[in-house]
């Protein structure tokens, strides 16, 4: 339950501060020096910022990220023709693909420089008997160590694949407040080091929910990022994939790029073959291939139910459970759908103090506001 300040105590504190001659700090904007956004890849990878790459498991998000990294390590033209000014170093935190049998072959197939491509595989610590051991990195716990590595090895691009695998155990990826607080140090780290922080996450399977809610974990992840890219299937061309920009707080959204995943016989792996641009948007990518009612799972139906019931604002929890039962939705299914949709529970400030459910404010997220939802 959120804690609200006592208005009388707040007023008393304000009076006490005023008595001391202390006033709020106000800065006229004519005293602020304008800073331009610097790009590693114009309109797609801003330096010093957190970027999210969303996509279903079978669209080659990791392959696309390695292909991009390979070009960065060699200064090779990027898929839209932009030529990096010089080769730069890349760091990867990986949790799923093997280094020797998957990542390295993909890097070599894309023409990358293995000397400039590194991974952070362990954080040193001393065990109970005084021995030096290494454990997988955790975020945001190990931000200081990550920053040291970035500075020591002059890293320009950090890939976290996937993001949720590296969140510390005390972070619930489905809790909006916790996610925002966890990602704030990462965003600050990117700004201090001027490195691009590219975090990959899997989309959930629900097509019943709006576009922005399909990313795995809380939508606080989307709010923390300054730019969100989406990879998905091309509805107009079977076998072709698309890479589009869903959100951009820093520039006009970049054109959607088309690509295919093709085999590389020399390195026995898949690689990316880029095929120009597409008129499709990121929203098109996320909403395509929607199954009919017979194909939807019970979870999808429950998510759709929640977005319908909560579309006009908060609703008392007891009424939601009553209506869901009448709709034939099991309680455990409804609770899973609640987490999936990012629904927030809070206690109303009324005499009865009933528990309510509500949807997060998607408009604020697209506008770049980072107001934290309560609950």
The span from the CA of 302 to the CA of 312, in Å, is 17
Q: Does domain 39-287 have CATH number 3.40.50.300?
A: yes
Beta-carbon contacts of residue 69 (< 8 Å; ≥ 6 apart): 90, 92, 107, 112, 117, 157, 159
- Give, in order, the Cα–Cα distances in Å from 360 to each of 62, 175, 287, 288: 29, 12, 20, 23
DSSP string, 161-212: ESGGGGB-TT--TT-HHHHHHHHHHHHHHHHHHT-EEEEEEEBPS-SSS-GG
Provide the whole-model pTM: 0.72
Q: What 3 state SS string does 212-223 have?
A: HHHECCCCHHHH
Cis? peptide before 92, omega within 30° of 0: no
CATH topology of domain 298-366: Arc Repressor Mutant, subunit A (1.10.10)
Indicate the domain borders of the chain.
39-287, 298-366
Token pair recorded at residue 34: 């304008």
pLDDT per residue rounded down to tens, the chain (375 residues): 444 455 555 555 555 655 666 778 899 999 998 889 999 999 999 999 999 999 887 899 999 999 999 999 999 999 999 999 999 999 999 999 999 999 999 999 999 999 999 999 999 999 888 899 999 999 999 999 999 999 999 999 999 999 989 999 888 776 767 888 889 999 999 999 999 999 999 876 554 444 455 555 556 677 788 999 999 999 889 899 999 998 898 999 999 999 999 999 999 999 999 999 999 998 888 775 444 444 456 777 788 888 888 888 899 999 999 988 888 888 888 888 887 777 888 888 776 778 999 887 654 444 444 433 333
Query: Residue 373 has what pLDDT?
Result: 37
Query: Residue 1 has what pLDDT?
Result: 40
The pair phi, psi for residue 218, each rounded to 5°, is -60, 150
The span from the CA of 39 to the CA of 196, in Å, is 9
The pair phi, psi for residue 268, each rounded to 5°, is 55, 55
Beta-carbon contacts of residue 179 (< 8 Å; ≥ 6 apart): 167, 171, 172, 173, 217, 218, 220, 221, 224
Query: Residue 374 has what pLDDT?
Result: 34
Cis? peptide before 162, omega within 30° of 0: yes
Query: Residue 6 has what pLDDT?
Result: 55
3-state percent helix, strand, coil for the chain, nearest multiple of 5? 35, 25, 40
- Torsion sign over Cα 3, 6, 9, 12: positive
């Amino acid at each position: 339950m959120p804690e609200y300040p006592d208005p009388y105590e707040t007023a008393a504190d304000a009076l006490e501060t005023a008595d001391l001659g202390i006033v709020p700090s106000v800065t006229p904007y004519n005293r602020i020096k304008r800073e331009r956004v610097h790009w590693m890849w114009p309109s797609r990878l801003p330096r010093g910022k957190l970027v999210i790459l969303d996509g279903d498991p079978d669209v080659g998000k990791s392959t696309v990220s390695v292909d991009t990294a390979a070009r960065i390590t060699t200064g090779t033209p990027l898929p839209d023709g932009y030529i990096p000014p010089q080769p730069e170093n890349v760091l990867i935190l990986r949790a799923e693909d093997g280094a020797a049998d998957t990542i390295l072959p993909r890097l070599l197939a894309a023409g990358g420089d293995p000397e400039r491509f590194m991974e952070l595989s362990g954080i040193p610590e001393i065990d109970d008997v005084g021995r030096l051991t290494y454990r997988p990195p955790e975020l945001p716990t190990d931000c200081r160590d990550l920053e040291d590595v970035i500075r020591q090895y002059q890293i320009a691009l950090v890939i976290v694949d996937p993001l949720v695998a590296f969140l510390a155990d005390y972070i619930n990826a489905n809790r909006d407040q916790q996610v925002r607080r966890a990602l704030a140090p990462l965003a600050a780290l990117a700004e201090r080091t001027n490195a691009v922080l590219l975090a990959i996450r899997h989309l959930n399977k629900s097509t019943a929910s709006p576009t922005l809610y399909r990313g795995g974990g809380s939508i606080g992840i989307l709010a923390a990022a300054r730019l969100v890219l989406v990879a998905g299937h091309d509805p107009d061309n079977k076998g072709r994939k698309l890479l589009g920009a869903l959100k951009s707080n820093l520039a006009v959204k970049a054109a959607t790029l088309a690509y295919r995943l093709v085999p590389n016989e020399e390195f026995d792996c898949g690689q990316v073959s880029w095929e120009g641009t597409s008129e499709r948007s990121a929203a098109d990518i996320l909403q395509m291939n929607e199954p009919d009612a017979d194909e939807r799972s019970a979870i999808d139906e429950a998510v759709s139910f929640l977005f319908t019931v909560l579309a006009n604002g908060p609703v008392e929890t007891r009424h939601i459970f009553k209506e869901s039962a009448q709709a034939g939705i099991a309680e455990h299914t409804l609770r899973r759908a609640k987490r999936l949709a990012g629904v927030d529970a809070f206690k109303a400030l009324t005499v009865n103090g009933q528990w309510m459910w509500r949807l997060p404010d998607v408009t604020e997220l697209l506008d770049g506001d980072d107001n934290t939802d309560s609950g």
